[in-house]
Structure 1
Amino acid sequence: MREQVRFAVLGPVSAWRGAVEVDLGAPRQRAVLAVLLLAEGGRVPVDGLVDALWGDAPPASAVGSVRTYVHRLRRALGEGASLIRSVGDAYVVRALPEDLDLAAFRELTARAEAARRVGDLEQAAAHLRDALALWRGPALAGVRGEFAQAGREQLEALRLSALESLLAIRLDLGGHADAVPELAALVAGSPLDERFREMLMLALYRSGRQSAALQTYAEARTLLADELGVDPAPALQRLYERILRADPALLAVARSEEPNGGAPVEMT
């Protein structure tokens, strides 16, 4: 039985052979592994690796360098070398969900969605907390280049989507007061992202802070007008109007209110 090799991209690009972290070598060598892992079991042609590493201006030695990097990665991974397979003029890394944090993240968020669909909000929240706990900082940390930046943005969108789902569930379960500081921090960090501002307004209103909820909307309206020359989205406007008239339906939660509707989410 082979020694388990685990990979991570939700933070610094890393690998472990058993309990020992593997030295993945120079930045471009580490980048090769990152590209292969992001393919999540798909084939990556050598030309694709060249493009990812050097963009439009690869050196004449680029293909040879890529093959050298793959050889060194296989050697560093030891018994896990068979995980990086040659398939024609391409390479592929096949990792099970328990071997790659990104695959595990996707599986946990899928389980959360399934639990949410059948109304098991507590189980959905538990899966989402486990998924978010896999993040160890900014994705693909230590890898440079346009491909890495694009990958980081895509992965960050996945993280924020999972975080949005978790916070929405916590509001549904009555944990609005606990969620206010986290939502306020998210709004401060991404002031033009209306989805978290909408949840902050709802959390404030359900916490008995109607004026603060209305002020949050006013800040959004001013900011959007100044920065983008647009009005708040229709969903945000509708929520504002409902809070303004103190719509009692906004106070409805999935079950009787609890003092702590879920453990706080660690922000990265």
Structure 2
Amino acid sequence: MNAAYEEPLRFAVLGPVRAWRGERELDLGSPQQRLVLAALLLRRGRPATVAELVDAVWGDRAPPAAVSVLRTYASRLRKVLEPGRDAGESPQVIVSAADGYLARVPEHSLDLGVFEQRVAEAKKLRAEGEVPAAAELLHTALDGWEGTPLAGLPGPLAETERSRLAEERLTTLETRLDVDVQLGRHNAVIAGLTALAGEHPLRERLCRLLMLALYRSGRQAEALAAYRRTRSTLVAELGIEPGASLQELHDRILAADASLTPSAPEEEADTQESPVAGYPARPAQLPADLAAFTGRQAELEQTQALLSDEGERPSTVVISAIGGMAGIGKTTLAVHWAHRIAHRYPDGQLYINLRGFDPTGTVMPPEEAIRVSLDALGVPPRRIPGSLDAQAALYRSLLTNRRMLILLDNARDTEQVRPLLPGSPGCLVIVTSRSQLTGLIANDGAHPLALSPLTPAEAHGFLARRVGAARLAAEPEATHEIIARCARLPLALAVVAAHAATHPGFPLDAVAKKLHDSQG
């Protein structure tokens, strides 16, 4: 066997596509030839057909001899990567597979594989309470990027993969900054967060981290100004308000919420008292109530009937507010009801968006939800146990003999919720979900509340509060058409109402026609 063939191969795609044998960088040829290698590397051991590779290199502009040229690229790559093939040895890296090829490359030999392994390990460490170690690993992972992924490569595949990998890096960077803020490195991250928020003005998570870092650095006015900039951008470009998490932080900063006080520096963390020994924090995390809330009187009466009489010590209740579809108004109703009864729970309110059906697909795991809750209850990061069972036990201990309201929004399933249930009477837990959560009903005594679309009268009142009763009265047929086209769903009605309210001179008949033409 050729001695050079025994040296390890390493590959890079998080920057210019490169390959090394030992310490020697290999000549991978033209950009198109490098693109063939990149396409195979990004398949992570899965085969790519010749047709797929041709499309990756040329798209819809493939030359007549594209297949022949592609096979030439594969042959040249084999000679560079597998010098032992000249001696008749079997292919080891670029392998023929059916009508195409695959690349046999260990994950540790590809910079993308190393990056993803480090990110996964950091996530595990953070969930176990090893936050400083997670931060160090995330910094190391991001240091492995050499610039723009697949830099200098042409073709539709390269463009698509550049966008995907850039998003993966940005999400990891957000997580790293989140961890840094959690560790009390507020001043150190402000400059980077400011630049990132300017580059990505629609990413609410960046704005939230920047606001928190500024506030914890004693720069309250700048934190509020960052919120106003993001809100203005969202309203101007998308016609939407910031999400509940960002609005909640804004309100807490305005109220100088004590739970936002900076964490102790890392070197001081071990000297803090155990939170169980003292009295935990009194969080007030409910999102802002909707000032224009209308309807749902029957549902509110049903939920109110579940509570004990005023003045009596309440027992733990779990409400599963379900609707079977998005936009039915589960969160709005839950937040409104929570504000109505918050005075009955003097030890505070916890709110967690479990992201069970988040459009980004980033469902919050139970260990992260527990960690967020323990943090809100005043537990220093170094005092949070490593295992989920131990974290849940500490959480239940902190809630013993306390009267707290806990709103768990957008739950995916029962297992995501169960670790967050108190173990003794006195607290109210409200859960919203698109799922039935039958496990909570069967095993935890949850009381299901199935939401239906608004009644026609409620839908009319909903629009009247936002658009104006006089405007609806002037165009009753258009109003009826809008309500019907929106299927009496609160979210759909809210979007239409926002459009109508921002264009007061625009006839409702035109709005109704637009809904009709677009099939709602």
**When the two structures are superposed, what TM-score results if normalisation uses the length of structure 1?**
0.92
> 2:136 maps to what in 1?
126
- The residue matched to 1:128 in structure 2 has which SS? helix
Q: Does 1:28 align with 2:32?
A: yes
> 1:241 maps to what in 2?
251
| Larger-gyration structure (1/2) | 2
Q: Does 1:183 align with 2:193?
A: yes
Tell me which amino acid in the other structure corresponds to 1:39. Answer: R
CA distance in 1 between partners of 2:266 and 2:126 (Å): 19
| Contact preservation (8 Å) 2:187, 2:217 | yes
> 2:114 maps to what in 1?
104
* Range moving further from structure 2, 225-234 or 203-212: 225-234
Tell me which amino acid in the other structure corresponds to 2:60. Answer: D
Q: Does 1:257 align with 2:256?
A: no
Q: CA RMSD in A?
A: 1.7
* Range moving further from structure 2, 203-212 or 87-96: 87-96
- 1:61-94 deviation line (CA, Å, top 9, x unaligned): 1111111100001112244862111122221112
CA distance in 2 between partners of 1:171 and 1:76 (Å): 46
> 2:230 maps to what in 1?
220
> 1:73 maps to what in 2?
77
Give, in angstroms, the shift of residue 258 of structure 1.
4.3
| Contact preservation (8 Å) 2:39, 2:56 | yes
Q: What percent of counterpart residues are identical?
A: 46
Q: Does 1:13 align with 2:17?
A: yes
> 1:54 maps to what in 2?
58
CA distance in 2 between partners of 1:145 and 1:60 (Å): 17
- 1:28-55 deviation line (CA, Å, top 9, x unaligned): 1111011011111111111110111121
> 1:262 maps to what in 2?
none
CA distance in 2 between partners of 1:196 and 1:250 (Å): 17
Q: Which has the higher helix share?
A: 1
> 1:266 maps to what in 2?
none
- 1:122-176 deviation line (CA, Å, top 9, x unaligned): 1111111111111000001011122111101110111111111111111111111
CA distance in 2 between partners of 1:74 and 1:195 (Å): 45
Q: Does 1:139 align with 2:149?
A: yes
Q: Does 1:166 align with 2:176?
A: yes
Tell me which amino acid in the other structure corresponds to 2:234. Answer: L
Q: Does 1:204 align with 2:214?
A: yes
| Contact preservation (8 Å) 2:210, 2:223 | yes
- The residue matched to 2:101 in structure 1 has which SS? strand
- The residue matched to 1:56 in structure 2 has which SS? helix
Flag structure 1 segments of 5+ consecutive residues without an equivalent.
Answer: 260-268
> 1:265 maps to what in 2?
none
* Range moving further from structure 2, 61-70 or 219-228: 219-228
Q: Runs in 1 of length 4+ with deviation above 4 angstroms?
A: none
Tell me which amino acid in the other structure corresponds to 2:265. Answer: E
CA distance in 2 between partners of 1:114 and 1:186 (Å): 26
**When the two structures are superposed, what TM-score results if normalisation uses the length of structure 2?**
0.48
> 1:4 maps to what in 2?
8
Tell me which amino acid in the other structure corresponds to 1:62. Answer: A
- The residue matched to 1:33 in structure 2 has which SS? helix
Give, in angstroms, the shift of residue 252 of structure 1.
5.4
Distance of aligned partners of 1:239 and 1:153 in 2 relative to their CA distance in 1, 3 Å threshold: same
> 1:263 maps to what in 2?
none
Tell me which amino acid in the other structure corresponds to 1:85. Answer: V
- The residue matched to 1:225 in structure 2 has which SS? helix
Tell me which amino acid in the other structure corresponds to 2:18. Answer: S
CA distance in 2 between partners of 1:183 and 1:218 (Å): 16
CA distance in 1 between partners of 2:29 and 2:260 (Å): 54
- 1:197-219 deviation line (CA, Å, top 9, x unaligned): 11000000111111110011111
CA distance in 1 between partners of 2:266 and 2:214 (Å): 16
| Contact preservation (8 Å) 1:2, 1:79 | no
Count residues with an aligned counterpart.
Answer: 258
- The residue matched to 1:55 in structure 2 has which SS? helix
CA distance in 1 between partners of 2:10 and 2:252 (Å): 49
CA distance in 1 between partners of 2:31 and 2:118 (Å): 30
| Contact preservation (8 Å) 1:201, 1:214 | yes
CA distance in 1 between partners of 2:221 and 2:60 (Å): 54
> 2:241 maps to what in 1?
231
| Contact preservation (8 Å) 1:9, 1:139 | yes
| Contact preservation (8 Å) 2:92, 2:104 | no
| Contact preservation (8 Å) 2:82, 2:93 | no
CA distance in 1 between partners of 2:186 and 2:83 (Å): 49
CA distance in 1 between partners of 2:156 and 2:147 (Å): 19
CA distance in 2 between partners of 1:38 and 1:117 (Å): 29
CA distance in 2 between partners of 1:193 and 1:72 (Å): 43
